[in-house]
Amino acid sequence: MVNILGTSRQFAILWDFLIEMRESHDFEINQEIIWLVFRSYSRANLPSDAIRAFDRMAEFGLRPSVDDLDKLLYVLCKCKHVKCAQQFFDRVKHKFEAKAKTYSILVRGWGDIGEAVEARKVFDEMLGLGCALDVLAYNSLLEALCKGGNVDEAYKMFREIGSHGVEPDACSYAIFIRAYCEANNIHSVFSVLDRMKRYDLVPNVFTYNCIIKKLCKNGKVEDAYQLLHEMMERGVSPDAWSYNTILAYHCEHSEVNRATKLISIMVKDNCLPDRHSYNMLLKLLVRVGRFDRATEIWESMGERGFYPSVSTYSVMIHGLCKKKGKLEEACRYFETMIDEGIPPYASTIEMLRNRLIGFGLLDHIEILACKMERGTSCSIQELAKEMRGNKASVRSRNEETELESE
C-alpha cells in the first residue's frame, strides 16, 4: 500500500496511513517501509521531502542508522538529486559513523552527473578520514573520472590501487572498456580485454555488449562474431541484446541470409529471439520483397514461444502497405490482429485507411470498421471510429518510439 500511494504521489494519504498503522499497533513500521517513502519522493523530484521523511523516522519509533542514511543518499543520487544528497550528508555526517560505502554512493552520484571534481573532493575526504577503502570505492571514483573525460587521470589512479592493498576486479576494467568504447578507441578496448585474461577476470554480458555495439558501428561485424564465441568459451551467455546488435547491422545492410541465419543461431544457442529481433528481421524481409521468407518467419514465431504484439503486427502492415499488390495481405494481418484482441496503433489505422481510400476501396474500410466494432476489446471498438475517419488520429509517444526503433 505504501508503494502504491507513493508511486501515485498520494503523499498526504500515505502519511495518514502510516500514522494510522502506528497508532493501531496492528503492523510494525520498519526501515524498509520508510525506504519506500524515500524512493517515492526522490522519483517525484521532491528531494527535500525525502529528507524530511528521514528526519521523521523517530516519530515511528525508528532510530536512523547509517544504513538508512545510505539508502536515502542512494535513491537521491539515483534520481540525480546529488547536490541535495551532499548538502544533507554534510549536515548530518557528524551523527553517523559513515564508512566507505556511504562516501562511494556520493562519489558515484557526482560521477553520474559528470561532476568529476566534486567526486574527487568526496573521495579525498574519505581518504582523509582513514576509511577502509575497498574496490567499490575506487571503482566509483574511476567511473566518475572517466565519465568526466579524465580517463588518463583515472588510469593513473588505477595503476596505484594495488599499493593501497586493493585488487582491481572485473568492474574496474569494465569502466575503462566503456570509456574507450565511448572514445571509439577499439585498440585500447582489446588491450584491456587481454589484460583481464592475464588476471583471469571475465567481463559480464553488459561489458561485452558494449564492445559488440562499437564493433558493429565501425563495420567490424566479423570481430563481433568472434567476441560472441569468446563470451561463450569464457562462460558468459550472450543475451538477446548481444545478438540484436549484430542483427541490426545485417538488417541495415540488407544482408537477408546472414540475418535469418543469425535468428537460427540464437535459437540454437538457447537465446530466444525477442520482439526487437523479429521486428527488425520482418521489416528487412518486407522491405526487400522477400515475402516468402517473411511468412516463414511469422509462422515459426509461435513454435519458438513468441507471439506477435501490436508493434510486430504494425511492422508487417506498414511494410506491406508500401508494397505494390500487397494491400490485401496487409488487411489480412490487420484482421488477424483484431481477432487476437490487440488494439492497433492509430498510425496503422491511418496508413491502412489512406491506402484503401487511394485505391477506392471504401467498402473494405467499412468491413474493417464493422469487424472492429464486433471486437472483444473496448479499445478496438472505440478505434472503429478512426477507421471510418470520424476521429483525428493521435500517435502516442510510445508508439512513435517503437515504430522508429524497429
pLDDT in tens, 305-344: 899 999 999 999 999 999 999 999 999 999 999 999 999 9
CA distances from 211 to 15, 131, 155, 224, 323 (A): 47, 35, 19, 8, 37
d(C-alpha 406, C-alpha 397), whole Å: 15
d(C-alpha 29, C-alpha 36), whole Å: 12
Q: Which of 156, 230, 19, 81 is nearest to 238 (CA)?
A: 230
Q: Name the band, by pLDDT with cuts 50, 70 and 90, for residue 376.
A: confident
Note whether 57 and 34 are within 8 A (CB): yes
Please write the tens of the pLDDT for every residue from 98-121.
Answer: 888 999 999 999 988 988 899 999
Please write the tens of the pLDDT for every residue from 210-248.
Answer: 999 999 999 999 999 999 999 999 999 999 999 999 999
Q: What is the mean pLDDT of the chain?
A: 91
Angle at 338 between CA 336 and CA 340, to 5 degrees: 70
Q: Look up cell 498503522; give the residue.
A: 21
